[in-house]
Amino acid sequence: MSNDGRFYDLPSQDQAPLLARSLRQEVEGERGVLDLDAAVKQLDLSRIEAHYSRVGAPGYPPEVLLAVLIYGYSLGLRASRQLEAACKYDVRFRFLAHGLRPDFRTLCRFRRNQAEALQQLFRQTVTLCQGTDLVSLGRVATDGSKVRANRSRRALREAERAFALALQEAESADADLPAETPAEACPPASRRACPCSGEEECALMKLAAEGIQPAYNGQLAVDEANQVIVAQEVIAAPNDQGQLAPLLMQVERNCGEAPESALADGGYLNQEDLEQVERQGITPYLPVPEQGVARMEWMEAEQAFRCPQGELLRAYRIRNGKQIYRTRHCSGCPQAKACKVTGRAKELHILPDSGALRRLAARMNEMGKTIYRARSKIVEPIFACFKHNWGFRRFLLRGRRGAGAEWSLLCIAHNLRKWAAGPAQRGVAPASAFSETPRRLIHPFLPPILAVMFSHRIFALRLRAQCLRVSR
C-alpha cells in the first residue's frame, strides 16, 4: 500500500514497547472494571477458601474466579469457554484475573460447586448496600419471571417417564422382598438413577416467546430506594402462589429487619401468605380481583349462587386458595354476553372470607392503588436488565442448584454495581484514585530514566562514528 499522506503510518507489529504499561494503566478509563475490582475485595471469601486444600498444586484464587464470572455475566458472557478466551485476550478480564488465565473447566466447576456460597455472598452484597444507606426498607416490591431451563421439552418428558419407570421397578422389587431384608439387598435395576441429571426439578411453563418449555421461576424482592435486590430465589412452580411470605422472610434475614410495606401483583394473592405477612408487621399491597358476584344471588339453602336465568353455580373445587363455583348450562343463554361467557360453563372464583382479605380490600382504595402502581417501576426494570441488557434468557447449568447459582451471580453483579455507584463513603479509594496512583508513582522518575537512556544511546552512536573514521 502506497503511503502518500492519506493514511496513518503502520507501526511495526514486531516492535516491542519501550516501557510496558501495567494492567491497571491499561484499564484506567474503565470505571466499571475498577469499581468491580474494589467491590469484590470487600467480600469475605473465607467460606469458599475453606474448600481448598494445602495438599497438591495451588489453585486459582476465588477472588479471581468470582470477579471474572460477575463481570462476564454483566456483559452477557456466561459460557465458560467465552470467559476463558476473554481472560486471554480482553485486557479488562486480564486485569480482574491479575494476569492469570483460568481454563473453562475451572470456571465451570467453581460456578457449580459454590452454589450455596454464592447465596451467602449475595447476602453480603445486601449488607454492603445497607452500610452505604442504599437500602431503606420502606417499600419492597416482589415479582417473578420465567427463565428457560437447559433441558429441552422432549428430554424432560423422557426423563419423567424414565423416573416413573424406575420408581415402579423399585416398588415392585420392594414388594417381592421379605420384611426383614435390608434395602441394600435390592437388585441394582430397582435403584437405577434417573438419566435426567437433576433437571427433573424444572417444570413445563408457558414462556412469552417460546411457548411451553422447561423453565424455572426466578423470584426477586427489590428495595424501592435504589433498586437493590434484597431477596432472591429460584423455584420450579409455574406461578407465584405461596412465595410472598418466604421472600419477605428472606428479606428480614438478609437485612436484619422487615420492610414496612410489600408490593406484589395478583399472582401472589393467598390467604395464608397475607396472614403470615401481617404477623411479620408488614403492610401488603396487592390488587384484589373482582369477584363477579354483582349479578349473582346467594342461595343459603342450596349453598350456591343463582344467575339471572335461574341456573345454580355450585361448589366445584378449590384452586389457588379460591373456592370455584361452576355451572355448565350456559350454552344458548341470552345472558351469556352480559356474563362474559363464551362457552358452556360459567365459573366464579370466590376468595375465602377472612380478616386479612377484608383488610386488604379496605386498604386498596385510591391511595392504596397509587402506592401499588410504584411496583412495576421498582422491580420490573431489574428483569429487563437481566433479560434484555445482559441477554439472560436461558440457564446454562442444569438442576435447581445450578440455576440458583446462576441467579445468585446475576443478583450479586446487580448489587455490586449499585454499591459501586453509591455516593457514600465505602472505606476504599474511589476508582479515579486507582487510575491516578500509577501516574503519581511513575511520572517523577520517568524523565530522568528517559534522559539517561537517550544519553547512553547518543554516546554509543558517537563512539561508533568515531571508530569508523579512525578505521578509514
Residues 152-191 have pLDDT tens digits of 766 666 666 766 776 677 766 666 555 444 444 444 433 3
Around 324, how many Cα atoms within 13 Å sit in the side-chain half-sphere? 11
pLDDT of the residue at 255: 93
Residues 29-38 have pLDDT tens digits of 888 899 999 9
With pLDDT > 90 as the criterion, what percentage of the chain qualifies?
42
Q: How far apart are CA 380 and CA 144, in angstroms?
A: 9
Between 76-85, 133-142, 206-215, 289-298, the lowest mean confidence (pLDDT) is in 289-298
Q: Would you say residue 366 has pLDDT above 80?
A: yes
Between 38-42, 82-86, 230-234, the lowest mean confidence (pLDDT) is in 38-42
Three cell numbers, residue 306: 343463582
Q: Would you say residue 243 has pLDDT above 80?
A: yes
This prediction has a pTM of 0.74
pLDDT of the residue at 309: 76
Q: What is the largest CA-CA distance in the chain?
A: 130
Q: Would you say residue 331 has pLDDT above 90?
A: no
Q: Confidence class of residue 196 from pLDDT cuts 50, 70 and 90?
A: very low
Burial letters for 232-248: b for 16+ Cβ neighbours within 10 Å, e otherwise? bbbbbebebbbbbbbbb
Q: Confidence class of residue 136 from pLDDT cuts 50, 70 and 90?
A: very high
Around 416, how many Cα atoms within 13 Å sit in the side-chain half-sphere? 28
Beta strands in 99-197 (DSSP E): 139-148
Q: How high is the mean pLDDT of the chain?
A: 80
Q: Would you say residue 420 has pLDDT above 80?
A: yes
Residue type, 412: I
Most confident of 15-29, 73-87, 197-211: 73-87
Residues 293-323 have pLDDT tens digits of 556 777 888 888 888 778 888 888 877 667 7
CB–CB of 268/243 below 8 Å? yes
Residues contacting residue 321 through CB under 8 Å, at least 6 positions apart? 241, 269, 270, 271, 272, 351, 352
**What 3-state DSSP class applies to 65?**
helix
pLDDT of the residue at 450: 54
With pLDDT > 70 as the criterion, what percentage of the chain qualifies?
76
Mean of pLDDT values over 431-445: 40
Q: How far apart are CA 27 and CA 145, in angstroms?
A: 35
Residues 114-132 have pLDDT tens digits of 999 999 999 999 999 999 8
pLDDT of the residue at 307: 81
Q: How far apart are the first and last CA of the chain?
A: 40
